[in-house]
Amino acid sequence: MLPNFLAEDAVRREDGHSEAVDISAHAGAQLLVTLGITRIVEQESLDVELEASPDGTTWTGKPIGAFPQKFYCGTYSIVLDLTAHPEAKFLRVKWSMNRWGRGEPKPQFGFYVYAEAAGAAVAAGH
């Protein structure tokens, strides 16, 4: 049930994905998905995609939503239209990181991903 964290706020140092979140109650709806980047180091990038599944174990080969590549701390939101994806009963976040330049070669990002019904923020007066 939403609103819900798709990926809890944590510092991550390698590519990965979140646990599956049941979104079946929101079939055919629009979701407001927010990416919050709370920590970075210079000369690195973060790619965040949203994957769907009909059963929570079999995932689509391509994302049903994605944020533009990010390099800075901040809060970024996209609207995910589930009407185009009627098979989507579960959602998870997939991320990949890249680091270049001098210093520690391993990337480091602190971030979270949060989802809510698209009208919820407006109804709450935010």
Mention the CATH class of domain 4-120.
Answer: mainly beta
Residues in Cβ contact with 81 at an 8 Å cutoff, skipping those fewer than 6 apart = 30
Q: What are phi and psi of 21, to 5 degrees?
A: -120, 130
Percentages (nearest 5) of helix, strand, coil residues in the chain: 10, 50, 40
Q: Where are the domains of the chain?
A: 4-120
pLDDT, one tens digit per residue, over 41-69 is 889 999 999 999 999 999 988 999 999 99
Residues in Cβ contact with 5 at an 8 Å cutoff, skipping those fewer than 6 apart = 112, 113, 114
Q: Which residues of the chain have pLDDT under 50?
A: 122-125
The structure's pTM equals: 0.89
Encoding tokens for residue 123? Answer: 């109804």
